[in-house]
Chain A
Amino acid sequence: MVDNIVRIKHDRVENTVSTDYPGFHNDNEDYSWDLTKFKSKFDIKISYISERVANFDLINIDTSVSNAFRRIMLSEVPSVAAEQVYIFNNTSVIQDEVLAHRIGLIPLKVDPDLLNWIDNSVDEKDKFTDGNTVVLTLDVSCSKNPNASKNSTDPNELYKNSNIYAKDLKFEPQGNQLEKFKSPVVAADPNILIAKLRPGQEISLRVHCILGIGADHAKFSPVSTASYRLLPTIEITEKIKGEDAKYFQKLFSTGVIGINEQSEAFVKDSRRDTVSREVLRHERFNGKVKLGRKRDHFIFNVESSGAMPPEEIFFKSVRILRNKAEYLRNCPIGR
């Protein structure tokens, strides 16, 4: 039998590598890949899901697969971001390159499936079409506010358009984009500050947004972060009672350890633990508790940057992984 608990010691982590594949163990169990067996064991539990964040568990799956999902979500799920910024006028203090960089990093609310990939073999002038490019414009000029009170020092009151936000980027539909996209393209977070202006200053520019992947540039990554942690396990090997139990409880995150009627400490909810390993510092609990993490229980946390709901990003990562596998299978080496 394979031990699937990663052992958390005070100075090191043990048993981190999974060994449930054929040929590693000498016992007679069959570790070869079996879809039905996987299907019977595999489980997904969704604990929280919202427009931006999803938190779900993948249970009984190998590290390699779940890590692939994580990696793909970070860098291979395509999304739309500004790529070319054509600056007609920029008299603000912020330099053209920096302004372009800032605009590039603004997450846009566009369904990436509605756009095609840019064909880089095509000539520069014809590269951008309504099928692969979203055009945004920004035309702001700052002026004095005539109604401002005389001794005001607040720039928001003194000037008009002194702050440029992501919401000031205006969508310019090309071709049939208006029907195709249903809703106009906007920034996912409208209040990202792009630049500050003072009276007389002006920014006028046009942005071409295209499809890309996070591996090329972080701006194309559809997630703020996508990562997982392993499910913590706490095993109390010797009874902890009374004052000790109360003290013991404090060494974990709130709600992890409960105290029953016999004033004995018991593990209430190990999922909530952050594994701060504080308990291992205390002499009096030496040998009384074993910390660990389940190696095949992944608690995923996906934070979307706004273009797509997090679950969709995950589904796409699955699809991409499947395509990769498909590709490999079709390679001469796979046959």
Chain B
Amino acid sequence: MVSKRRSSSVSKHAPASKAHTHKPGVISDDSFNDLLKPVYKGKQLTDEINTAEDKWNLLPAFLKVKGLVKQHLDSFNYFVDVDLKKVLKANEKVLSDVDPEFYVKYLDIRVGYKSTSKTKDLILPPHECRLRDLTYSAPIYVDVEYTRGRKIILQKDLEIGRMPIMLRSNKCILDGASEARMASLDECPLDPGGYFIVNGTEKVILVQEQLSKNRIIVEADEKKGIVQASVTSSTHERKSKTYVVTKNDKIYLKHNSISEEVPIVLVLKAAGIISDLEIMQLVCGDDAAYQDLFVVNFEECAKLGIHTQQQALEYLGAKVKTMRRAKLSILQEGVEAIATTIIAHLTVNDLDFKEKALYMAMMTRRVIMAMHNPKMVDDRDYVGNKRLELAGQLMALLFEDLFKKFNTDFKANIDKILRKPNRASEFDPLLSINIHSNNITSGLNRAISTGNWSLKRFKMERAGVTHVLSRLSYISALGMMTRISSQFEKSRKVSGPRALQPSQFGMLCTSDTPEGEACGLVKNLALMTHITTDDEEDPIKKLCYLIGVENISIIDSASLHSSFGVYLNGTIIGTTRFPSKFVSSFRNLRRTGKVSEFISIYTNLHQKAVHIATDGGRICRPLIIVENGISKVKAHHLLRLKQGKFQFDDFLKQGLVEYLDVNEENDCFIALYEKDLSKHITHLEIEPFTVLGAVAGLIPYPHHNQSPRNTYQCAMGKQAIGAIAYNQFQRIDTLLYLMVYPQQPMVKTKTIELIDYDKLPAGQNATVAVMSYSGYDIEDALVLNKSSIDRGFGRCQVLRKNTTVLKRYPNHTKDIVAGMRVDSEGEPIFQHQSLGPDGLGEVGTRVESGQVYINKCVPANATESILQQGSTGHRETPVFYKAPEPSYIDQVMMSVSDSDQALIKVLLRQTRRPELGDKFSSRHGQKGVCGIIVQQEDLPFNDDGVCPDIIMNPHGFPSRMTVGKMIELISGKAGVLNGSLEYGTCFGGSKLEDMSKILVDKGFNYSGKDMLYSGITGECLQAYIFFGPIYYQKLKHMVLDKMHARARGPRAVLTRQPTEGRSRDGGLRLGEMERDCVIAYGASQLLLERLMISSDAFDVDICDKCGLMGYNGWCTTCKSGEHVVKMTIPYAAKLLFQELLSMNIAPKLKLGDVFN
């Protein structure tokens, strides 16, 4: 191990001369090319291929194809390329009520390019949209066919609106752009994309987690003795939920639009299964136990006297709640209920209810099974029962809603015109189409910018779907793209949905979840995952019949349960007597690429079922296929991968690697390591560290830490100040934190390299001494070395944006920017010192509190028209700088926004050196504030004269158990001495033993503990000190942003008490508990001073006679000033008295003498 590393570290410096060739047609992505270079991160082509270790190279290959946020991009691409066309197809015709001859038919829809040109339309580059507060969007074109008079006309490339474009999707101009091209567009090549830019803000549509649609979920309530099977049917038109429930051990069907529960036998009869025997066969098969449980249900139906389908349908029809305008007969209602309402996702053709009857019978069977054996219920929290909803699906829902509205408006407009009896010219409907073109654009924009998804069709009103992309650090942006939010209510106190599910293994990160209320509900994707998009069902169905599935429509009900049912997306399509043979032949077809690799198939022995899933939103991940105990990925495959001759897709095509979703994983035996392979193993893990996500992947040696510490680090890694993107200096964000000298960590992980954290790091390698020093290090406080700070340790910049719009008013006046004012000597006045002649702050000048950096003036008269107004003057409304510390003007941008108003953005910069109270953290959830800054000569030093940058108190270790941090120190120290970067990859990384060996070889103690000399006395310290580099992050919480004090200041209008909070220069509250202390102590004068005099003292005139308040020495109640007394009370008390008066309660004050 050690010798190998050495040899490679030497060759690292040799220039990589071998040019590497790309496959034609493959998108070149420069950042990933590095990963495939002959010499990369200390590995080179000539190194021997070891399948057990080098199979991890599949991971960079996977990420090269899939990218870090591929789930978002895939989903959006599917939406614009496929789903959009489906939506159009579903709403393709606009007809007129007036003219039966008239029609408009949509033929095709495209986003971003016209039918005539093969290339994409030129749209404004994303960075310009960010700067100018615009929306990054592309036009939506449709091809229409319509009638004009008697003619049928084909119109192509009609723009109906603009679609916000997801960055780096295939409609984005950044798609496939080289690094140089990205740079010329002011875009960071490392930026993952996957978000939208709407009105200049970056918006992410978070992945939403939901219970899977169109699947049966069986649940039991043991207390109430209820078993229920439910299915949420979701179609383009509606969403509904159908239940099959037990009530007093009898089974009923329940649905929202059926007023009461209907006996299941009756429903089955209504669905055309009239024979009791057939019902029994369909539900129970020949299982006597099931039959016993079910037989009671026939009785109820017989009691109701229902024997025929007609009777059943009429019974059902009477129970249906309808809101239809046209009245139907009861029978028709019943037919309608079975055909469309119940289990709505199954479509009924020609009133053939067989499929639906079977579905209901299967639901009933599942209920019976759960009644018979309570363990046969489903787990709601099982990841296999969840589906993830992504940006594309949400956009599709929204677009369809808007498109429908667009069409109804269009139709109304056409009808209006067609209704006119004699038109002057021939009617051209396209003239009225453009009027509404804004609806789609603004509807999409509004939904994304506010996050309110309101869909009329489903009566859905969902808020908080989108979030502003957090650009605090590269990691926070990346973490946001992999985040999954659950629809589950945060307030409910159930632990189930929050708990870590074993089925999350490899799919969702085990560490990355927030603390507190959203704990366990907000999750993150693991590193090597893929979220499926919808696939066509019909070809799969046909394929199943071809490879030996007996079609369900021709099976007799008696033999239905004797063999395995084959279910396609939850619906039974047939049976097979040889499930394992069927499954393996299906898998073979998938491995050879005959069907999509994302279709999963698995057997469920308990249900005697083979399930095939083609729906979207399933999480899946690639695994190496193992046959006969031998991994199919061989050394020569990996060699070709390294040489760049192989892509990840080649591994898929050759059947070496396949995707498994959670359900199929359950059906497989997956070995973690190659050494674990044996006969019955079916798959091999590509790399165990992929159980963690991108954010948790930053932690070195996480497998040595106590698990909550890793979770804490996941939260803190997002707050670390560092480099944000290559275009960070081009950005004008509301708030931007940057580190002046970020360093890549000494102890890296493979994940760090994969997500390019080493290129955009957030932290510095500090030399840490773990010892007690000075007493200013208690409670996790850190001691910092002043010289290190002088030399740039922890130095950061804070950039803050200020936006001003110069408005235009209807009376043709507009806001202006005035120049600076000068004093008698011609020098600018203090307030205008940083201004230039144009009235804007000059770049590079310093602005202090009270100074102006945009000298804006608004017209004195903005309402009256110019003709009648007298004054044409302007009033100064300058933008002041108010902060305790001065800033420098970094950038000033002037542009024009969407609404043709001048837009001014000023970016202010502060450079900060660490100070007392600034927060720092290592990568192990160990945060602390700076407690004292010490001169270098006072700090301990070792034999080489090395002083620590940070001293950390050793009490931080025993209870936190962050052993990973200790190993990071040793590995880091070994790396420093050896001139190499060491790895702390999860379940791998540099071995502690090797690291100790290096330390000893370089003349240090194996344990990482050095003998130090005290800097103050110069003597040796009596204990050996754990001493070495640890990667430290500076967190965004800095005292400068928090410090606050006030003597006098603003007061609230209503109560006249001091305002609250730092932002309003508020007072510091003497709260209830503090008050209690003062009372207990007996300091009544202090109490009076704090609670009244220093707060809201108010002089009132009180009439001693009537006890009410008067004013100006006059009592308005008594009409005299005789008994009026002046006294001081809190204004809040006065307010209370007056409020009580206003509701007819007269509080009267009885005054007594103080000296009685």
Do A and B associate with each other?
yes
The closest CB in chain A to the CB of B939 belongs to: A74
A75-B1018 contact in complex given A93-B729, A217-B790, A276-B1004, C-beta closer than 8 Å: no
The closest CB in chain B to the CB of A300 belongs to: B945
The closest CB in chain A to the CB of B1023 belongs to: A12
Chain A residues with CB under 8 Å of B946's CB are: 225
The closest CB in chain B to the CB of A76 belongs to: B937
Whether A87 lies near B1018 (C-beta < 8 A) is: no
The closest CB in chain B to the CB of A101 belongs to: B792
Task: Let me know if B757 is at the binding interface, CB within 8 A.
Answer: no
Whether B937 lies near A70 (C-beta < 8 A) is: yes
Task: Let me know if A115 is at the binding interface, CB within 8 A.
Answer: no
Task: Let me know if B983 is at the binding interface, CB within 8 A.
Answer: no
A16-B791 contact in complex given A74-B936, A75-B936, A75-B937, C-beta closer than 8 Å: no
Chain B residues with CB under 8 Å of A262's CB are: none
Chain A residues with CB under 8 Å of B1011's CB are: 8, 13, 275
A22-30, A59-67, A237-245: which lies at the interface: A59-67
User: What's the least CB distance linking A88 to chain B, in Å?
Assistant: 10
Whether A70 lies near B1020 (C-beta < 8 A) is: no
- Interchain CA distance A105-B788 in the complex, whole Å: 12
Chain A residues with CB under 8 Å of B911's CB are: 95, 97-98
- Interchain CA distance A301-B946 in the complex, whole Å: 12
Chain A residues with CB under 8 Å of B792's CB are: 101, 105
Task: Let me know if A284 is at the binding interface, CB within 8 A.
Answer: no
Whether A218 lies near B937 (C-beta < 8 A) is: no
Whether A87 lies near B790 (C-beta < 8 A) is: no
List CB contacts (< 8 Å) of B369-407 with chain A.
none
Chain B residues with CB under 8 Å of A274's CB are: 943, 1003-1004
Whether A90 lies near B944 (C-beta < 8 A) is: no
A95-B943 contact in complex given A75-B935, A101-B792, A278-B1000, C-beta closer than 8 Å: no
- Interchain CA distance A154-B1013 in the complex, whole Å: 48
- When each residue 197-227 of chain A gets 1 if its CB lies under 8 Å from chain B and 0 otherwise, what string results? 0000000000000000011011101000111
A221-B787 contact in complex given A75-B935, A75-B936, A95-B909, C-beta closer than 8 Å: yes
Task: Let me know if B844 is at the binding interface, CB within 8 A.
Answer: yes
Task: Let me know if B915 is at the binding interface, CB within 8 A.
Answer: no
- Interchain CA distance A101-B792 in the complex, whole Å: 8
Whether A293 lies near B1020 (C-beta < 8 A) is: yes
Judged by DSSP, the binding face of A is mixed
The closest CB in chain B to the CB of A303 belongs to: B945
List CB contacts (< 8 Å) of B1015-1059 with chain A.
1015, 1017-1024
A16-B1005 contact in complex given A70-B937, A87-B844, A90-B844, C-beta closer than 8 Å: no
Whether A13 lies near B1015 (C-beta < 8 A) is: no
Task: Let me know if A230 is at the binding interface, CB within 8 A.
Answer: yes
Count how many chain A residues have C-beta atoms less than 8 Å from C-beta atoms of the other chain.
50
Task: Let me know if A277 is at the binding interface, CB within 8 A.
Answer: yes
Whether B790 lies near A13 (C-beta < 8 A) is: no
Whether B1003 lies near A17 (C-beta < 8 A) is: no
Whether B1018 lies near A218 (C-beta < 8 A) is: no
A105-B791 contact in complex given A6-B1020, A278-B1000, C-beta closer than 8 Å: yes
Chain A residues with CB under 8 Å of B844's CB are: 87, 90, 96
User: What's the least CB distance linking A172 to chain B, in Å?
Assistant: 22
Whether A276 lies near B1021 (C-beta < 8 A) is: no
Chain B residues with CB under 8 Å of A225's CB are: 944-946
Task: Let me know if B1006 is at the binding interface, CB within 8 A.
Answer: yes
- Interchain CA distance A185-B945 in the complex, whole Å: 29
User: What's the least CB distance linking A317 to chain B, in Å?
Assistant: 11
Task: Let me know if B701 is at the binding interface, CB within 8 A.
Answer: no
Chain B residues with CB under 8 Å of A6's CB are: 1020
Task: Let me know if A3 is at the binding interface, CB within 8 A.
Answer: no
Partner of A12, one of B941, B943, B1000, B1024: B1024
Partner of A13, one of B729, B1000, B1024: B1024
- Interchain CA distance A6-B943 in the complex, whole Å: 14
4 tightest Cβ-Cβ pairs between the two chains A and B? A67-B1018, A227-B945, A274-B1003, A218-B790
Q: List 29 A-B contacts (CB under 8 A).
A: A13-B1023, A14-B1022, A16-B1020, A63-B1018, A63-B1019, A64-B1017, A67-B1017, A67-B1018, A70-B1018, A75-B937, A93-B729, A95-B797, A95-B909, A105-B792, A215-B935, A217-B790, A218-B786, A218-B788, A218-B936, A219-B790, A221-B787, A221-B936, A227-B1013, A229-B943, A274-B1003, A276-B1004, A277-B1005, A295-B1019, A301-B944
Given contacts A66-B1018, A87-B844, A275-B1011, 6 further A-B contacts (CB under 8 A): A13-B1021, A67-B1013, A274-B943, A276-B1004, A276-B1005, A281-B1006
Binding site for A on B (CB under 8 A): 729, 740, 786-788, 790-792, 795, 797, 844, 888, 890, 909, 911, 935-937, 941, 943-946, 999-1000, 1003-1006, 1011, 1013, 1015, 1017-1024
